[in-house]
Amino acid sequence: LIKTAEMYETIIQQESASRPVLVLFSAPWCGPCRLTNPVVKEVKQQFSSLIDVVEVCTDDFAEIAEEAGVVSIPTIQFYYQGEKMDTIVGCVEKSVLANAVSKVLEDVSQIKTPTS
């Protein structure tokens, strides 16, 4: 769980990051967020060696959510070296989220090893 705006910026903006970051924007009172949390945890375990996962409580950090363009929760965003790679809004099934992670990892591998 993100504790400060500085912590969020450090994690998201790391241009030297070797792994993509999945950011879950949610709030404790949000029913769909409570349904999404276990899905994110399962996917985090599935891809634990390949991605980092953080959660941003929109109640505590509305300014971060606003800067990220979050207008509805839950929202999941993927970042790599400071660049937003993908966004998923609303409840999501594990298979859909896992496919999104796989796609982001594929895109990142192409960034790391550009074809000539």
Which residues belong to the active site? 30, 33
Residue 49 buriedness (CB in 10 A; 0-12 / 13-18 / 19+): exposed
Give phi and psi for 84, each to the nearest 5: -75, 125
Residue type, 54: V
